[in-house]
Chain A
Amino acid sequence: MTDKYTQLVSRGLGKDIAKKLGLPQPVVLRRYRPGQPLVQGPVLIQGSGSGADELAATLLSWDLDVRRHAVPREKLGAIILVLDEAARPEDLEKPVLAAAASLRDLAPNARVVTVSRAAAGTTDPAAAAVRQGIDGLLRSLAKELRAGATGNGILLADGARTTSPSALGALRFFLSGRSAFVDGQFLTVSSEAGQLAADAEKPLAGKVAVVTGAARGIGAAIARTLYRDGATVVVVDIPAAGDHLAKVANEVHGTALQLDISREDAGQRIIDHAVERHGGLDIVIHNAGITRDKLLANMDQGRWSSVIAVNIAAQLRINEALLASEHFRNSPRIVSVASTSGIAGNRGQTNYAASKGGVMGMVRATAPLLAAHGGSINAVAPGFIETEMTARIPFATREVARRLNSLQQGGQPGDVAEAIAFLASDGAGGISGEVLRVCGQNLVGA
């Protein structure tokens, strides 16, 4: 242990990390609380063209303090870099360097958001180059930002406008404290679907949401966040976790459903409960998951099959029931919890990573099936989150793991919950089949 640790911190990347470990406390992230202003300080919009102008007009209508030109030494709450008309790599220079001049004026916990076109949407090599180039640019810039500031990007599919409902929904999410632990990430807006909430404080008002695995940790945080955002919440967990589940249910004024989601009839039971008790079902959050870690060489059938059964097979079966149900037709939303392990892999987690990779594949393939009903399905992939589970990781390992991201700290369960609540809202209706990482831009992985 000591040997490996010494090797790690004595050179290269590890040395840098070790230096960082000696630094004072990483900044306290600005996390969303009801009543909080969307951004702290003026918003500078860089970029020219109608997309930028329309966006500026919209932000003005939100009563934000919008700047089209930087005022030297004025602290900024956010910089929005609108690059949707960039046709070739040379087009980046002017707006990007203009934004660069303002980076030192960013307030703590400020935001940089790029708005550009999805690279997959073009066959023109130069356009593809600039669009893909923005990916590298943003991810690098996010790593340069300090003091809790984050950089994220919105990718518009061809046809989507900078002011499409979900482009604005994603922009609000990235600007706000809801995205505190989301860094270096992109969200693709693929359609005009979706609708911004009438009441930004209660984006889920009138919705009935089901959260699996809600007895504790991230699941309980999801239940609280959905409740805060106005949803009626049904919390689900295995019968053996019923006491914790009851506490969560009572906290969020919801109902508890003790149910093993790997049961054959779980989907129907969930639908029946939501419809009978609450008159419908709008949102399902597949959060329940288990780990049974073992090196693949030592893997046994029980560890493998239980992880696959709970983490992915159950979700597939429940989704089948949801898709077949007439009660899940009114802009239904599904959000699944994946994991960065499913993206980057993790030693000892072949079964878990297979299941979580599976979740991402499922989400991609299910998106078109839900589109017919104005629905969407997405996944959130948490990185290092401070939970009871990660608290059991040995100190040194944990300390390294939680510093290995651009924000130099672990995320909170609520950070994952915020991303899920956003993707479950109608403001994200034009975003579907996507995987959003909530990892503080973890240095390992994608």
Chain B
Amino acid sequence: MPENGTSATGPKDTFAPAAGSAAAQQLRKAVVVGGNRIPFARTGGPYTKSSNQDMLTAALDGLIARFGLQDERIGEVAAGAVLKHSRDFNLTREAVLGSALSAETPAYDLQQACATGLETVLGLANKIKLGQIDSAIAGGVDSASDAPIAVSEGLREILLDLNRAKTLPQRLQVLSRLRPKDLAPDAPNTGEPRTGLSMGEHQALTTAQWKITREAQDELAYNSHRNLAAAYDAGFFDELLTPYRGLSKDSNLRPDTTLEKLASLKPVFGKNLGAEATMTAGNSTPLTDGASTVLLASEEWADAHDLPKLATVLDGEAAAVDFVHGKDGLLMAPAFAVPRLLARHGLSFDDIDFFEIHEAFAGTVLSTLAAWEDEEFCRTRLGLDGALGSVDRAKLNVNGSSLAAGHPFAATGGRIVASLAKMLHAKGQVDGRPARGLISICAAGGQGVVAILEAH
């Protein structure tokens, strides 16, 4: 079915470009129809031979099958990957062409480290709100197994010069520059370019700074596994997930893990900080492969297609911190983005029914929660009158999060948005208002993207 005429006749030309509350009232709603992801697999597992394009296509096809979108021309598809081969320059469009969608569906790639997935949702939701498009698919994918490996910088220069050389003597001269060290490949790593520290080492600094205990981190990890396992048992993922390559559950999930087992693991990060090292493989996310997608639409489009409207994408906010000079921790940007987003809507933590705080590390979640509870931090760094408040742990990551599910970087946003939308829809109204959920995702480069969804 072609896009209806809403985009042509919509209100996009009638409101002021500056986002104010008056203009916001004229915007359409962007609703989450549903989502689909493939189970997340630990690196080196069943998806080892699967490319980003394979996995994103599979996630798309599962979404298409769930919602009957075969041959549908979707307004726009946006997705991305953090670890990306140079050949994947048009990853999302290629995945669309390989899917059951209409080949006339446009697509673009987006990359914002681990916030990629959530940012695709926000960007596309904005286009829907503006009336530019009526339907959209947001997504993300990452493979740490099928990661790109580049040639060394030296070899790359030699190969390019060789290509430019015209005569045999010139070519031989270029080749004579080749040294054995040039042949060593340049593998990707999760180190921050400006500090050389890995993400885990950065978080270890933050974890120590906020005095987050080993026990608290292990408990968060334990709850993540327990909650995710319970969600699977309850059939929560039956309409959120499509099996892939023989996997029908996230392979990192350990339903039978115990606090004792988690306590027995040796620390892997922060071993040289002087303070006690508390971060283990159990309370840090593993490298993971996977893909996720979210179907977004205007209310009219969803109705015209007899599709559910689970939740609306209320708003989003990005933030970044100066971690390079040690002002804030690498993964602390959401601590700044959340209060700004809440303030814009006059909301407090009391108005939030589900907190989806991405568990890059248990320490990240706990440091962020501690910062919001800290009067000093909230006054001096956030400019508030006092502490932002405490997050009710009973509302935190109630169906598990990345510590249990794993974290294929760009795919995490889509996982959270689809799951939260389903939870909000089931919750419906709370005290006469729609149930609300807050999503918080930290990202490399000292960034963070957060969002609020409301039950439709």
Contact = CB atoms under 8 A, between A and B. Distances in A.
Given A250-B70, A253-B71, A243 B306 contact: no
Interface string B54-73: 00001001101111101100
Contacts of A278: 306
A276 B308 contact: yes
B48 interface: no
A277 B242 contact: no
B430 to A, nearest CB: 24
B248 interface: yes
Q: Main secondary structure on chain A at its contact with chain B?
A: helix
B100 interface: yes
A260 B62 CA distance: 18
Nearest to A235: B65
A247 B242 CA distance: 11
B107 interface: no
A277 B306 contact: yes
Contact of A245 (B65, B70, B235): B65
Contacts of A253: 68, 70-71
Contacts of B148: none
Contacts of A245: 65, 242
A246 B62 contact: yes
Interface of B: 58, 61-62, 64-68, 70-71, 100, 235, 237-239, 241-245, 248, 306-308
A26 interface: no
A260 B239 CA distance: 12
Contacts of B307: 277
A239 B66 contact: no
Contacts of B248: 239-240, 242
Nearest to B68: A255
B215 to A, nearest CB: 35
A276 B62 contact: no
Interface string A249-261: 1100111101110
A255 B61 contact: no
A64 interface: no
A254 B100 CA distance: 12
A256 B65 contact: yes
Given A250-B100, A253-B71, A258-B238, A240 B243 contact: yes
A278 B68 CA distance: 10
Task: Specify which of B71, B242, B245 lies most central, judged by the most chain A CB atoms within 10 Å of its CB.
Answer: B242
Contacts of B243: 239-243
A246 B245 CA distance: 13
Q: What 8 A-B pairs come out closest when comparing CB atoms? A: A246-B65, A249-B65, A250-B100, A256-B65, A242-B242, A255-B68, A240-B248, A253-B70
A243 B62 contact: yes
Contacts of A254: 68
A242 B62 contact: yes
Given A239-B237, A250-B70, 5 more contacts: A242-B243, A242-B248, A250-B64, A256-B65, A259-B238
A22 interface: no
A173 to B, nearest CB: 29
A208 to B, nearest CB: 11
A279 interface: yes
Contact of B238 (A239, A249, A250, A279): A239
Contacts of A263: 235
A116 to B, nearest CB: 45
A228 to B, nearest CB: 15
Interface in A279-333: 279
What class of interface size applies to chain A in its complex with B?
20 to 34
Nearest to B237: A239
A288 B10 CA distance: 47
Contact of B306 (A241, A258, A260, A279): A279
A253 B102 CA distance: 12
A255 B308 contact: no
A255 B33 CA distance: 14
A246 B293 CA distance: 15
11 contacts: A242-B248, A243-B243, A243-B245, A247-B61, A250-B61, A253-B70, A253-B71, A255-B65, A256-B66, A258-B238, A263-B235
A234 to B, nearest CB: 9
Contacts of B66: 246, 249, 255-256
A279 B305 CA distance: 11
Given A250-B100, A277-B307, A243 B68 contact: no
Contacts of A260: 235
Contacts of A258: 238-239, 242
Contacts of B244: 243
Contact of A277 (B68, B70, B100): B68
A209 to B, nearest CB: 14
A426 to B, nearest CB: 24
B100 A243 contact: no
B69 to A, nearest CB: 9
Contacts of B65: 245-247, 249-250, 255-256
A256 B66 CA distance: 5
Nearest to A246: B65
B100 to A, nearest CB: 4
Most buried by B among A245, A253, A254, A278: A253
Contacts of B62: 242-243, 246, 256
A242 B241 CA distance: 8
A280 B135 CA distance: 25
Contacts of A243: 58, 62, 242-245
A31 to B, nearest CB: 26
B290 to A, nearest CB: 14
A27 B386 CA distance: 86
A218 to B, nearest CB: 19
Contacts of A276: 306, 308
A317 B227 CA distance: 31
B114 to A, nearest CB: 26
A246 B70 contact: no
Nearest to A253: B70
Contacts of A240: 243, 248
A234 B243 CA distance: 18
A241 B100 CA distance: 19
A245 B68 CA distance: 12
A254 B66 CA distance: 8
A256 B241 CA distance: 12
B207 to A, nearest CB: 37
B257 to A, nearest CB: 22
A233 to B, nearest CB: 10
Contacts of B237: 239
A293 B213 CA distance: 54
